[in-house]
Structure 1
């Protein structure tokens, strides 16, 4: 038995090597302890029997070798469970505050394939810790070890960035799987019984093939840090700015490839054109289904625009002749009434952007005699599991013959899929006077390991998923009209170069923090929160999410135009939209500061969540955020009272962290013991901003 210790500033990792295995035996990163556990997992497949098995650093290895110096520690694991000619090589580079792991798989066994190997991660424990997970904008689960939390990216919401943080009151550990190529991965997080485990699987390059040797892309970084989710986010931000392949170019005016009118637009709405007889009762189920006149879909947006008196962007569904979720990807032709009314909408300072789905092919489209259909074309390009079956997802809509819809996920490497999407967009832009296109699901869809050996990519793992869609969008963008806006669903970072905007409609969960804007403000337009559907009548929820949109730097809304019919919603909406429009230059070129601490005499309210989220949403009545112009000319502090009653508040932030000494401080503020503070009251539903101007 041999013991090895890697230590640095406020961290220590103890490794134990026995004859046939090695593991972490203890240690700490600040307040967070390391548990006795393996530090990597691997799945291998017997190609003769099809049987898979998990192995780890604690498995029975024929040989385990350790090499250590002042700069590194290296492990070589050979022949797991009697399976010869498979090795896992780990190299940990030592730094003062962290260790960075590189992983290599050497498989010379003709009977086995390495299907995945996890980035090295430790098992953690502490009597109390908070857990940051990069779901949507970022979520912090307080006291996660006692409250419990689990997540599997195969089954649940998309991971938008690639780092985690576990921390106590003052310090903790940052775990970043810092892959500059955004390869396909699977994330599993579990917290219970005062412990936390984070597993990130890298799918094997040439998986399902024998003798597949490869290196994991990027590193696993374990770093000590002081603070909370915001401080961990700054570590990840540093990686992104230095190494990420997906970061677009920006200048003092933000993204040069995004039309300025869309950078300035403060508000979005969505709705759908009423069903035709041919479309039957197939409708977008998540969207609110209401009994409005047939002209509502274009008249209500015009009324709303006149109330707001700002440019309004309209995301339109169901504009096509085919039924929703049926006969995809055959989106053209458009309904004649849509073509006609688009002109009227644009005359009223409304930008019109229709929906298409750019990920899925409906499996039974042959029923309607489409010349190019799934049977003769699509099936050759769909993503394939390692057992040879397709990734097919059921939906509640039905085909003309009454079959339930199955949407098959396409492999983004399929050139014919690129061609179909390119031709669809060009035809839309030629025949309809639109202002852009929404490419549904691209930046929301979980990257799947595809094992079709006929496709032009490595089977299993690699960056081909992101690369494929980015290649498709590069082709589409090459002919993009000058003033058009292209956007996609959710905010998966690897697609950022391809789109002008991301629809953040799922940023409506409990425990949210603005980590994503803290990294990516100015690099892409982020907008929208779903306040409709089952929450359409919840006015408090609407106000809460609308206020948070402003504080997170998002463009406001992605609500239905029927907000015009609700006086309480409309009154608050107008205030937030005006403030967002007044500060449009700030949000074009700024970065988010650590949110100020704000407290109020008003107690939070609670409401049921939207979508598939489970935890009830705690709605603070007074909310605040802080932004600084990138040229350092101003700091702007926003505060909102979403309550219908007056609110007392206290707001504070670290004067040194904000660099307040260089700014003229509004007279209401005082600096006490290094904290810049203000105490006061807000009128019912008041929204305001303070400016700190550079001296």
Structure 2
């Protein structure tokens, strides 16, 4: 019997189509199942579920190598008696999928021969967002009864092609950017060539941007976790120079649970622009979350004296070396100066915690010095690490502290030796134990109510840990209990504070999740070269671009003298010339750090200030004081303003001398590592005030006059078609020009090392 060719073709086509729809493994012709929303296209293998295609429809760029489908989309790690075991999608002997609609796809892997549990199943769901180049990814691991899962790695986006002129921007606390990340990754020694960031922790928000800096498009990878569950983000490189992006999710080990599925989605997509564009895209989501709505600054809970701080002095030691120099600074500045005080405590730094009391200079001397400085309106916060306990201290043994310390998955303590001089270690305490919350609250209470300080700097505050101690009052392993208990800790501490006194809590780092709990955040990337050298990363104000108006940030390692040495450390390592002047050739590094701080909206800070610097390093100190005065005249921008992209400005560069040195005196005689680096001579930051004015902060570090020419359209900044332009400097504000027809032209010449804010204001008629 003869069959018509058209009918035969129709039968074959129908058979293939049915195979694709049902996930049939016997289809000889494999077709990808594809999701499209007019912005991006995602394609998956109908045989394995492998991620095969990822395209930006607008520019037709394909982000993945030609055939990445054999690489697993996920990996599950188990805790076994013999150690960690793992499975990937290739271990499944059955795969099915369901395309629910044009935007939604469900992938199911089951029948894992390597597992005794036959009910074990992995389900991934990918859903494109309507009219946006973004997709949500979620995973569910079912049938996990009696299985101890240590981590679920999902999504794994393998085979990411080189985008060209590539930059990687990461919110590592304030933010960092790297040019040509593949080259830097390939230089990492060892088998695993990877960058990894912990959230919540040093990764201050959940967004990473990999982009082409000339074509202005990129890969947007994020997460929409509004509850701050513990996870790790990473990029790594393979032998073919392809990148792989991963999120490692950490379930709580609960043998009574049948299913694990994160209470959030991974977000994968594309964007147009650079890291600022990615930050603005994330800002649209992040500023709607609870942490933004309940930030202490936004709710008006931060003390006004903190908001009015014009300059921080970060000194160490007894009051004569801290409070007296602060008084000298305040007399010169004639604006509020606050003190960030290390090494006041009776124990050796970085090994004797938490045996802080009594202060090393004695109780009476300390209290009298603090009260005297407060009469001069100088407020002090004192250093107390909020999670470390020295294992060589008497209290460690006497109070049985190890019972309340963090335990890893193998039951070991998280112990680390920070102090290279004594070799004594610190161990991380578990935030979820009431014992530790009570202990730290008692210490904070004593600092404020007995010793009359204005608050506590909680070192290592914006960190989180996984703890597997089953005797602690929290889920074993993953979860968001660390942040919840930090919230309880700060509430407990504040309940002890006097109501009629400005008292505040500051913490190390900055993070969206901590916005409701801390008053100020120490951010140090402005001094990145000083502590990290020239390591390929450049500091950027990533966090500021998202959350500036929700958080007070401060901090700077910028110093003009050799770092100090704790008098309680071994004498043999003490420097022969304490607090010696750094070579004047590093002057521009100091100016650069302060300029970054100013234009990025941080409260200015100087480390290790001594009164003799006003004459020995007059140029640098004058720069700092002028910068603080200008900032004080523009708080509506540099404290309360919303970050915007700066107009294009021609910025000259210069190769300058840089110093890398420890924040303490080094253990060997030579503490300074010198190198050269090209640096901008002009820094800018643009801010929108709450009443719709524009402030463009400018800071020159040039020894010569610098011409500044800006031409841009008012509509790009939501401004009216006409208005006025003023300059804010140390003397106040004065009008310099006007604009009309939406065309803003600013032409001026900055004096050597001039700092100012260009203010653009709509006409009153337009505002009406």
Q: Secondary structure at the match of 1:419?
A: helix
Q: Secondary structure at the match of 1:122?
A: strand
The answer to whether the aligner puts 1:14 opposite 2:43 as a matched pair is yes
Report what 1:94 is aligned to. Answer: 128
- Select which of 633, 645, 652 maps to 1:582: 633
What is the 5 A alignment of 1:402-413?
404-413=423-432
Deviations 1:131-162 (A, max 9, x none): 21111222222343455474223799921111
- Select which of 639, 649, 657 maps to 2:698: 639
Tell me how far apart the structure 1 counterparts of residues 128 and 351 of structure 2 sit (CA, whole Å).
54
Deviations 1:653-672 (A, max 9, x none): 55322123355142877989
Give the Å deviation of 1:455.
1.3
Contact 1:254 1:588 survives alignment (8 Å) = no
Distance 1:212 1:673, change over 3 A: farther
Report what 1:201 is aligned to. Answer: 248
Report what 1:162 is aligned to. Answer: 206
Give the Å deviation of 1:8.
2.5
Tell me how far apart the structure 2 counterparts of residues 130 and 501 of structure 1 sit (CA, whole Å).
30
Contact 2:722 2:742 survives alignment (8 Å) = no
Contact 1:113 1:211 survives alignment (8 Å) = no
Q: Give the alignment's TM-score, normalised by structure 1.
A: 0.87
Return 5+ residue gaps in structure 1 as ranges. 275-293
Tell me how far apart the structure 2 counterparts of residues 662 and 435 of structure 1 sit (CA, whole Å).
47
Tell me how far apart the structure 2 counterparts of residues 147 and 670 of structure 1 sit (CA, whole Å).
47
Tell me how far apart the structure 1 counterparts of residues 94 and 227 of structure 2 sit (CA, whole Å).
32
The answer to whether the aligner puts 1:114 opposite 2:114 as a matched pair is no
Contact 1:45 1:113 survives alignment (8 Å) = yes
Contact 1:148 1:191 survives alignment (8 Å) = yes
Q: Give the alignment's TM-score, normalised by structure 2.
A: 0.79
- Select which of 480, 484, 490 maps to 1:467: 484
The answer to whether the aligner puts 1:140 opposite 2:187 as a matched pair is no
Contact 1:669 1:676 survives alignment (8 Å) = no
Deviations 1:227-270 (A, max 9, x none): 1111111221122122x34335369x844110111111121111
Report what 1:287 is aligned to. Answer: none
Distance 1:467 1:237, change over 3 A: same
Tell me how far apart the structure 2 counterparts of residues 619 and 546 of structure 1 sit (CA, whole Å).
13
Larger C-alpha radius of gyration, 1 or 2? 2
Distance 1:602 1:164, change over 3 A: closer
Tell me how far apart the structure 1 counterparts of residues 633 and 677 of structure 2 sit (CA, whole Å).
29
Give the Å deviation of 1:315.
0.9
The answer to whether the aligner puts 1:33 opposite 2:60 as a matched pair is no
Tell me how far apart the structure 1 counterparts of residues 44 and 374 of structure 2 sit (CA, whole Å).
65
Report what 2:685 is aligned to. Answer: 625
Moved more, 124-133 or 258-267: 124-133
The answer to whether the aligner puts 1:556 opposite 2:604 as a matched pair is yes
Give the Å deviation of 1:179.
0.8
- Select which of 664, 667, 673 maps to 2:723: 664
Contact 1:127 1:194 survives alignment (8 Å) = no
Contact 2:406 2:413 survives alignment (8 Å) = yes
Distance 1:394 1:202, change over 3 A: same
Give the Å deviation of 1:374.
4.4
Tell me how far apart the structure 2 counterparts of residues 466 and 315 of structure 1 sit (CA, whole Å).
24
Contact 2:236 2:245 survives alignment (8 Å) = yes
Distance 1:167 1:179, change over 3 A: same
Tell me how far apart the structure 2 counterparts of residues 603 and 648 of structure 1 sit (CA, whole Å).
16
Tell me how far apart the structure 1 counterparts of residues 527 and 55 of structure 2 sit (CA, whole Å).
34
Distance 1:138 1:50, change over 3 A: same
The answer to whether the aligner puts 1:69 opposite 2:100 as a matched pair is yes
The answer to whether the aligner puts 1:45 opposite 2:105 as a matched pair is no
Report what 1:451 is aligned to. Answer: 468
Report what 1:172 is aligned to. Answer: 218
Contact 1:531 1:545 survives alignment (8 Å) = yes
Report what 1:420 is aligned to. Answer: 439
Give the Å deviation of 1:163.
0.7
Tell me how far apart the structure 1 counterparts of residues 400 and 143 of structure 2 sit (CA, whole Å).
35
Report what 2:323 is aligned to. Answer: 298
Give the Å deviation of 1:449.
1.5
- Select which of 485, 488, 513 maps to 1:494: 513
Moved more, 69-78 or 544-553: 69-78
Give the Å deviation of 1:90.
1.1
Q: CA RMSD in A?
A: 3.0
Report what 2:339 is aligned to. Answer: 314
Distance 1:51 1:238, change over 3 A: same
Q: Secondary structure at the match of 2:527?
A: coil
- Select which of 284, 292, 296 maps to 1:247: 292
Contact 1:600 1:648 survives alignment (8 Å) = no
Distance 1:155 1:425, change over 3 A: closer
Tell me how far apart the structure 1 counterparts of residues 662 and 201 of structure 2 sit (CA, whole Å).
11
Tell me how far apart the structure 2 counterparts of residues 326 and 357 of structure 1 sit (CA, whole Å).
11
Tell me how far apart the structure 2 counterparts of residues 414 and 607 of structure 1 sit (CA, whole Å).
44
Tell me how far apart the structure 2 counterparts of residues 194 and 49 of structure 1 sit (CA, whole Å).
34
Tell me how far apart the structure 1 counterparts of residues 299 and 721 of structure 2 sit (CA, whole Å).
28
The answer to whether the aligner puts 1:339 opposite 2:386 as a matched pair is no
Tell me how far apart the structure 1 counterparts of residues 467 and 88 of structure 2 sit (CA, whole Å).
24
The answer to whether the aligner puts 1:573 opposite 2:624 as a matched pair is yes
Give the Å deviation of 1:601.
4.3
Contact 2:724 2:737 survives alignment (8 Å) = yes
Contact 1:62 1:82 survives alignment (8 Å) = no
Contact 2:686 2:696 survives alignment (8 Å) = yes
